[in-house]
Structure 1
């Protein structure tokens, strides 16, 4: 059954490609079309050139670099998550992030970008105008950015879709079948992320037209992934042995390195969302760094007061919480407001994580506690601290005399919660009917690295006679009765 379902998925992708390709076979690529038009209008070449939008080389270079920075965040997330699980699950956890880069990249070209940013259909979804990247070429699309190539804008947005899907994996780490994970990701990115991205960022999207603000993904990225992760964590159930078997992070240096890469990449995430090398990008850069630093400090002081010691994991988690919270507000608030948002988000997310055991769910790596809660606070804080003195295209928040924006932000938060929660529940039921979503007791005890991928992150080795030249490796998978513990 499993193999048949996997084959069916591959065939579906192949048929989609074959089915879409003929529709665009006779279309002239944008670059070629431009060349044809120039040849056909020799009597007025100057007028034609004047009408065509022209990409700015500085803005284009900046967004290419920003897109690369955002892409780096997903390997950074793999390290951040990978270090926090037990060593028997490190590869499977990192595989989630890595394979999502591949999976979402293909879906994005097939139809994903078009559904998110294509011609609006009733404020809910984009059309298939851009399927297979038809009409996505070197010329700018003035609807989204008049100074960078349409293709570069689309690739920048792809990196957001990738990391959003990857963030969810932290909630169900150490207990989901890889086959079920793949099917869930394909459906979730298609029916949750793409519509939500269109609502908030697509021309004609209903939340965009409402006036809700989300500079770089508080609702689209963090609330959607955090809430979906929470639903999955509840439906899958707790990891076996939680509360009785020690489950500390197996490699904290890896997690800190991952947090550093996330912080580094987040400058592309937020500053790049200005879609140009300009003053707004500089402002977003400042607010991003300020909030991350403040949140790391407030998190460790909160745990220092409560637990008696500040932890390295707390510092890393706090920095990420601050980055999450400032994301929707980065291009709309001052540095002083970013400082307040960071300080508050560190404490709020810390207590969201602390309360998790009392609430009875097992969000393994705190996808909801940091991204769901942090994204929610950031979206609401945008409605409080936003000011048009920073960004004239935004709106004034509660602190600047208007409650209207805060109401709109609350509507956007509520809609994102409902859509992500209900949609994820339905998707899980479908996936669980095709593949049993949770691994067996034996597989969970042995570890997902061996049972799902046939590999180990840290194979045992012994030094024989002859020193290091005599090292021999022995896999612990030789005995299915081995239960890793720390």
Structure 2
């Protein structure tokens, strides 16, 4: 009963009466090529949410696969409503003291088909939706870290609050003209905004929730469907071309560079991960290969619009080493990050953000800065380190407090018997596999 009430409360918080806003009739200086590319990129980033559900779902027990898909679809709905009602405005509205955006775009008031100052060659409403896809995929990542144990209603309420209290402020700090933007830190497509916030928040969540019952006595983490993991990872790889390439907000050379270095970093990380796996275990894990690719994609995200192919090679190499080591560290420390969101996204995003301070070059993006290795001195690296440290502390602390408060007013976890049965039947009354 409590779970159902929590779910209804979460939906009530975001399902405010939707008011219509006028749509401008003039296109202004909208560029058709830029608009077409951003429309495609919006679709590519959207695909990443069901892709991550397949990627994560294949690593779970088969009795929880459907719940991963269902929770991801539900998050698409909930976060979209939050984004439309107030999320976009508080992220990209006029800055208030470097901390949060203004209220001028509430209910998308004034967000129409004419361009905005942020993206001057594409319709404002398209830029809004593109950024909304980033909010959705960030929240979806967190689901993987708390899989197989949270009640559905508690999960949705937590993620609704988290979107408003963590994602939106950090996105404003970095992209909306907030204090990290003014500091001079660079984050092209979400190393801090997406990957550090999600990964570090999962670390906090696992400490509050505790281990799954299957892991309390050191149970083996055995994926139930590795081909599904590879399918999800491959779709993520494709979607990342829109994630990073689309962040140029134009169909130009910068977008092309971002797309190319994205692939180079992922390819390098997959290959190096395979090598490390062979040296460590004597075998080349298929799960490891695709996980390495994702680690490379994560690490290049903040740097994609600022580094050249050489930098991408080193970032991919470093991502494999850092994230592989992070997963080993997680196992040694014993906290139950079900699908290594902290190890891959938290640490991968951290490494990528710091590496941007080393490998960024204005020969790629004149609007950026030269990193330490390209004659820029240490200013950019210091700014990157400050932004990483603050976002780590904020995301961890806020998530810990949110879940601790919620735990006082409602049960967060399924019962032991429900965990044994699996979330597919308990939460959805359905099974992913009806085999005869």
**TM-score normalised per structure 2:** 0.96
Name the SS of the counterpart of 1:301 in structure 2.
Answer: helix
Paired residues of 1:17 and 1:110 also in contact (CA < 8 A): no
Mapped partners of 2:343, 2:96: distance in 1:
34
Deviation at 1:244, TM superposition (A): 4.2
CA offset at residue 280 of structure 1?
0.2
After TM superposition, which residue ranges in structure 1, 4 or more long, deviate above 3 angstroms? 3-14, 243-247
Contact 2:273 2:288 in 1 (8 A): yes
Per the alignment, residue 206 of structure 1 pairs with 179
The answer to whether the Cα contact below 8 Å between 1:179 and 1:435 also exists between their aligned partners in 2 is no
SS in 2 for 1:291: helix
Residue of structure 1 in register with 2:405 after alignment: 430
Q: Give the corresponding residue for 1:61.
A: 36
Shift of the 123–298 alpha-carbon distance from structure 1 to 2, 3 Å rule, reads same
Q: Is the counterpart of residue 88 in structure 1 residue 63 in structure 2?
A: yes
Q: Provide closer, same or farther for how the CA distance between residues 90 and 451 of structure 1 changes in structure 2, counting only shifts above 3 A.
A: same
Aligned to 1:17: 17
Tell me the distance in 2 between the aligned counterparts of 1:225 and 1:262. Answer: 16
Among residues 196, 208, 211, which one is paired with 1:238 in the alignment? 211
Residue in 1 that maps onto 2:148: 174
Structural mapping, 1:272-291, within 5 Å: 272-291=246-265
Q: Partners in 2 of 1:7 and 1:299 — Cα distance?
A: 43
Residue in structure 2 matching 1:366, options 321, 335, 340: 340
1:458 corresponding residue in structure 2: 433
RMSD after superposition: 1.5
How far residue 100 of structure 1 moved from its aligned partner, in angstroms, is 1.0
**Candidates 120, 128, 131, aligned match of 2:106:** 131
Alignment-derived partner of residue 71 in structure 1:
46
1:161 to 132, 135, 148: 135
Q: Which runs of 5+ in 1 are unaligned?
A: 35-51, 462-486
Alpha-carbon separation, structure 2, partners of 1:420 and 1:57: 38
Partner in structure 2 of residue 447 of structure 1: 422
| Superposed counterparts of 1:71-470, under 5 Å | 71-142=46-117, 144-203=118-177, 205-242=178-215, 243-401=217-375, 402-461=377-436
- Alpha-carbon distance, 1:355 to partner: 1.8
- Three-state SS of the structure 2 residue aligned to 1:120 is coil
CA distance in 2, matches of 1:53, 1:448: 50
Q: Which moved more, 1:242-251 or 1:187-196?
A: 242-251
d(CA) in 2 for partners of 1:434, 1:85:
29
Secondary structure of the structure 2 residue equivalent to 1:389: coil
Q: Distance in 2 between matches of 1:326 and 1:11?
A: 38
Aligned to 1:475: none
**CA shift at 1:9, angstroms?**
3.9
Paired residues in the alignment total 433
How far apart are residue 241 of structure 1 and its match? 3.0
Compute the TM-score of the two structures, normalised by the length of structure 1: 0.87
Per-residue deviation, residues 412-467 of structure 1 (Å, max 9, x unmatched): 00110011011001110222223211111100111111111111111342xxxxxx
Larger RCO (alpha carbons 8 Å, 6+ apart) = 2
In structure 2, distance between residues paired with 1:295 and 1:13 = 39
Q: Deviations over 1:371-418 (max 9, x none)?
A: 000000000000000011110100011101211000000010011001
Gaps of 5+ in 2: none
Asked whether the 8 Å contact 2:10–2:160 carries over to 1, the reply is no
Cα separation, 1, equivalents of 2:131 and 2:294:
21
d(CA) in 1 for partners of 2:236, 2:140: 13
The DSSP-based 3-state class of the residue aligned with 1:305 is helix
Partner of 1:472: none
Assess, with a 3 A threshold, how the Cα gap between structure 1 residues 12 and 287 changes in structure 2: closer, same or farther.
closer
